[in-house]
Amino acid sequence: ESRPIIIRHHWDADGVCGGVALEKALVDLVEKYHADPEAKYYLVRRKVSRAPFYELEDVVKDLDEALEDIDRHGDKVPLVVLVDNGSGVEDIPAIRQFLIFGADVITIDHHFPDEEVDRYLLYHVNPYKVGGDSNYTAGILSVEIARMVNPDVDLKLLAGVSVVGDRAEGEVEKYVELTGLTREELQDIALAIEFEGFYLRFRPSSYIMHEILGFGRKDRQKKLVEMLSSYAKEAIEAQVKTAMEGVKVQELPNGVVLAALDVENYAKKFTFPPPGKLTGEVHDRLKQKYERIVTIGYGPDFAVIRSEGIELDIPRLVRELQEEVNAGVEGGGHLVVGSIKFIPAKRKEVLARLASKIGSI
Ligand code: MN
């Protein structure tokens, strides 16, 4: 129908795999069936979001470009596909801006969905809606949808990388087997994507990402992945080494161990790994030692939460904090992995309340 499709996805390995899967399937269709050989450049546009939701900074760019294309080239109003994002209330303000101009928005996500968002979506593909959970990564969902749209593109690797990248478990590990690669090899690809993605910032770079994911020259892919993943590992080790000094570990009344990491002062700014990933790496090391543990990496106005062996409900914690503290608390994520934002002046109070809530679960 020559309607442009904007694919907006989260910038981590899962998000990139999901976005690239749809991009590859759609571009192949355009190349085969569209009269204009240039059409693939304007009909399929993959873009990355730095935030874990469709933020206003993203939507104004997409909307402005779409309106210009409508005016200058007679393009149609686009279809927007949100991948690994798009299932929370925090996505609604951006989605509504596009709806005013007649766009349709589809969400393909595996974060715990908020029902409110469905009012604004054409479709919402989410495992939680059919009794599944976040182990069915956005990469898997997008690969399966891409295969329905166009079965001619081999996307097996993308599903496997998304599973390892997002640490998904259970039945979905069959996608790892399908790739014919080891978990370590898939992990290296995921690391390479996130390392390059971090420095690309707001650029999606289909060229570099396609090379890493094996759509370019295979011999170069291997070298590229080896090099980038080794950079990433060295960077992680270096940052974890200093970060471990900034961790305070305490046992809460209910026996849960709380590890608080001062990522603002014990990590380099604007350097890979970013605070969320660094907190995850520190958490992975600490959970070898403690069975029930929550790790909080905090900065001046944010906190990243990772947990193990405890039933956290982060969206609920966020709602409670919003009611109890006047600190502009926002956030969300998965049930057990997430992040919150707040105003810097109330950091102490927000973190103290968060700790006491975790201590009484
Ligand atoms: Mn994901």
Average pLDDT, the chain: 95
Question: In this structure, are residues 312 and 361 in contact, taking their beta carbons and an 8 Å threshold?
Answer: yes
Q: Do the beta carbons of residue 350 and residue 321 sit within 8 Å?
A: yes
Which residues place a Cβ less than 5 A from the ion ligand 1? Answer: 14, 84, 138, 166
Over pLDDT 70: what percentage of the chain? 99
Q: What is the pLDDT of residues 286-295, one digit of tens each?
A: 999 999 999 9
What separation in Å is there between the alpha carbon of 101 and the centre of ligand 1?
A: 29
Q: Check pLDDT > 70 for residue 117.
A: yes
Q: What is the mean pLDDT of residues 238-260?
A: 96
| Alpha carbon of residue 274 to chain centroid | 13
Residue in this structure with the two tokens 């049930």, named with its chain if needed? 335
Q: Edge-to-edge strands of the sheet including 338-341?
A: 247-251, 257-262, 293-298, 302-308, 338-341, 330-333
Cα(3) to centroid(ligand 1), Å: 27
163 CA distance to ligand 1 middle (Å): 9
Distance 248 CA to ligand 1 centre (A): 28
Check residue 336 and give its pLDDT: 65
Residue-level pLDDT at 107: 98
Q: What is the pLDDT of residues 158-188, one digit of tens each?
A: 999 999 999 999 999 999 999 999 999 999 9
Read off the pLDDT of residues 37-60 as tens digits, 9 standing for 90 and up: 899 999 999 999 988 899 999 999
Asked if the model's pLDDT at residue 271 lies above 90, the reply is yes
Confirm if 53 and 11 have CB atoms less than 8 A apart.
no
The pLDDT of residue 335 is 66
Q: Ligand 1 centroid to 303 CA: how many Å?
A: 19
CA 4 to ligand 1 centroid distance, Å: 25
Tens of pLDDT, residues 331-361: 866 666 788 999 999 999 999 999 999 999 8
Query: 41 CA to middle of ligand 1, Å?
Result: 26
Distance 176 CA to ligand 1 centre (A): 16
Check residue 232 and give its pLDDT. Answer: 98
Give the pLDDT confidence score for residue 333 in this predicted structure.
Answer: 64
201 alpha carbon to ligand 1 midpoint, in Å? Answer: 18
Query: CB of 28 within 8 A of CB of 177?
Result: no
Ligand 1 mean position, distance from CA 139 (Å): 7
pLDDT, position 62: 97
Query: How close is the Cα of 81 to the center of ligand 1, in Å?
Result: 15
Q: How far is the CA of 84 from the centre of ligand 1 (A)?
A: 5
Tell me, what's the pLDDT at 37? 87
Residue 207 binned pLDDT confidence (cut-offs 50, 70, 90): very high
pLDDT of 151 over the 80 cut: yes
244 CA → ligand 1 middle, Å:
26
Q: 162: CA distance to ligand 1 center in Å?
A: 8
Cβ partners under 8 Å of residue 341, min gap 6: 301, 302, 328, 329, 330, 331
